[in-house]
Structure 1
Amino acid sequence: MLAQNTLNSARRRVSSTYVLVALIVLGLVVQAPVARVVGASARLQTGVTIFAGVFVQAVPFLALGVVVSGAIAAFVSPAVLQKVLPRNESAAIGVAGLAGMALPGCECGVVPVARRLADQGAPGSVALAFMLSAPAINPVVLIATAVAFPGEPAMVAARFSGGLATAVVMGLLWSRIGRPTWMLPRGGGHGHCVSGRTRWEIFTEAARHDLLQASAFLVLGAAAAAALHVLVPSSWFEQLAGQMVIAILVMAVLAIVLALCSEADAFVAASMSTLPMLPRLVFLVVGPAVDVKLFAMQAGSFGRRFAMRFAPSTFAVAVVCGTVAGYIFLGGAR
């Protein structure tokens, strides 16, 4: 027992923050040899340039979203949202979808909030609509999209419409076909709101958790964008651009696999400039709604039976809503 307690104490001391600091120090130590290797290859130079461009552009919006998300975790109770919901379930779904604009932050932080809403008595369909809308249409995400696609306000409007439509349609669909038994029953608090902690402790813990988790996926996305430019021949993208249906499906699947933070995915999509706008829009609509990390988080919060039903349905709805929004706002083939 003593050995187990010692091991648990050591694990608590070696937190993800220390791991991040260690990686930063390691990067500084190996900076010179890595620079020599990169400088000797034109392809590596291109990849590093694209990686740095995507990462540096996205970091300010990621940081802003993390700060706001931490503040909401500390100072805003999900009970407030429940109080303003209409009694009519369909109307409540629409209100919950629009209320997602009030919760800037990564989709990772919205799943526990949706779980708390359901635990406090909100209909499951309303909680799910909020869960899908918050990471897709919040101000940080929309501003980041406008910066990533300068001179393309239609892209922002299309992303807002596609994301909101996905949330509302899935909420309405779940209210019709969903079963309470599909969602794992759970009571009590979740997420960062732990009893006995001060608001400052809740804020710092939530912000630290979201920053480290979202940054990891941002690094993965930036690296994937760089690899796509360096390793995949441009002729492949040109052929894909000429086959719109295949391009849409490929980008939708890519959004699931990359599992990017919604505050940074616009910069990755913008870097794929050889593809038409429509497939890139579908990438941005699908990503915040369903991906591999969200599937795992939803399975943990609501149960595996829920995730197995919810994820495929959300994928299909997001692809359709993103495509329709693209044809309305972007003219389809752009």
Structure 2
Amino acid sequence: MNPLETRARPEPAATAEPAGGRRPGSVEALALLLILLVVFRNPLADLVSDPRLQTWTTVFVSVLVQAVPFLVFGVVLSAVIAVFVPRSFWAKALPRHPAAAVPAASLAGVVLPGCECGAVPIAGSLIRRGVTPAAALAFLLAAPAINPIVLTATAVAFPGNPEMVLARAVASLVVAIAMGWLWLRLGKTDWIRLPRRSDLDESSKSRAFWAACRHDVMHAGGFLVVGAAAAATINVVVPEAWLQTLAENPVLSVLALAVLAVLLSICSEADAFVAASLSQFSLTSRLVFLVVGPMVDLKLISMQAGMFGRRFAVRFAPATFVTAVLVGTLVAVVIW
């Protein structure tokens, strides 16, 4: 099979639910959890009085609060793409040749104000609608980093360094296109396993739309919670004094902020303000932080594993990390 025309292979459909009635699902579990939180609110309040646990809770809630609105936006847009947009539209909207479709899909990220949480389900829907995976993955990487909201936030966070906006846009776009082309060259069909969605094809459009929304919210949202918990744990465990020591070394400072971007898992609409606060680090290392964060972080890796499969995530995330660090550093050297 020609690697330029690879398509994701859907997983086998899940077995049908027994006719004896609907089994309790995620909604019921969430309702039960909320009831338990209300009943045991006083013991829980005493439990979170520990400063380290308060820090963990604050970071965990902050990641969720930042990400959930954009996750919902991405889920709704994903459902619209999956249900209402015909496959023929993408054949007309994107260039026929996959290599040309990659930069076109990357530039499409400019007009969609969403973060990485929303881009994951959108990319999944694009692949289901027949878009070559390379173009969908390029969009997945570009949209959270070069959309107008993110670039505006970057300009506000770095008023004394307006070139940071240009540097972030250029570096992120180059990484997205490079990873798309790399997938065309080396990617394999077996590495992407999208869950089969018979509910999108066998129901009316309105029912299919809400079914798609419910599925993606519960599916992607669960992995978002796992990633947020991991990010909060890292924030508590890693001593702040280590950062000051690393900032004094030009090479280690770049690698430190690249790894920190992965661990903190900050939404792309807010990461510029965090980068601006790390004033002990160079502009180069902070640019790498801004390029890596929207493309590779804990919650995003978790969501990609849930949407595309673990075989995809363990290959795509490390390759994207290395590419983002190298391109971000090179762009910084050229601009500064």
Whether TM-score is above 0.5 comes out as yes
Residue 114 of structure 2 corresponds to residue 108 of structure 1: no
How many aligned residue pairs are there? 309
The residue aligned with 2:84 is 75
CA distance in 1, matches of 2:287, 2:19: 50
Q: How does 1:129-278 map to 2 (within 5 A)?
A: 129-137=138-146, 139=147, 143=149, 146=152, 150-152=156-158, 157-175=166-184, 177-178=185-186, 182-184=188-190, 191=197, 194-253=200-259, 264=267, 266-267=269-270, 270=273, 273-274=277-278, 276=281, 277-278=286-287
- Encode CA deviations 1:167-189: one digit per residue, 9 max, x unaligned: 211233444x347xx32499x99
Residue 42 of structure 2 corresponds to residue 32 of structure 1: yes
Shift of residue 235, structure 1, vs aligned partner = 0.7
> For 1:286, what is the secondary structure of its paired residue?
coil
- Encode CA deviations 1:105-162: one digit per residue, 9 max, x unaligned: 6243144334335xx4x5554444344434554x4xx526755985337566544433
CA contact (8 A) 1:251 1:280 kept: yes
Which sections of structure 2, spanning at least 5 residues, go unmatched? Answer: 1-14
CA distance in 2, matches of 1:134, 1:72: 16
CA contact (8 A) 2:153 2:272 kept: no
Give the aligned residue type for 1:29: V
Residue 329 of structure 2 corresponds to residue 323 of structure 1: yes
Name the Cα RMSD after superposition. 4.3
CA distance in 2, matches of 1:254, 1:70: 33
Q: How does 1:87-106 map to 2 (within 5 A)?
A: 87-101=96-110, 104=114, 106=118
- Encode CA deviations 1:24-43: one digit per residue, 9 max, x unaligned: 2222222221112223x334
The residue aligned with 2:6 is none
CA distance in 2, matches of 1:232, 1:166: 28
CA distance in 2, matches of 1:248, 1:286: 16
CA contact (8 A) 1:93 1:168 kept: yes
Residue 292 of structure 2 corresponds to residue 283 of structure 1: yes
Q: Greater CA deviation, 145-154 or 216-225?
A: 145-154
| Alignment counterpart, residue 44 of structure 1, candidates 49, 53, 56 | 53
Distance 1:210 1:199, change over 3 A: same
TM score, norm. by length of structure 1: 0.70
Which sections of structure 1, spanning at least 5 residues, go unmatched? Answer: none
State percent identity of aligned pairs.
Answer: 36
CA distance in 1, matches of 2:231, 2:186: 37
Distance 1:288 1:324, change over 3 A: farther
TM score, norm. by length of structure 2: 0.69
CA distance in 2, matches of 1:224, 1:150: 29
CA contact (8 A) 1:285 1:318 kept: no
The residue aligned with 1:85 is 94
> For 1:197, what is the secondary structure of its paired residue?
coil
The residue aligned with 1:21 is 31
CA contact (8 A) 2:168 2:287 kept: no
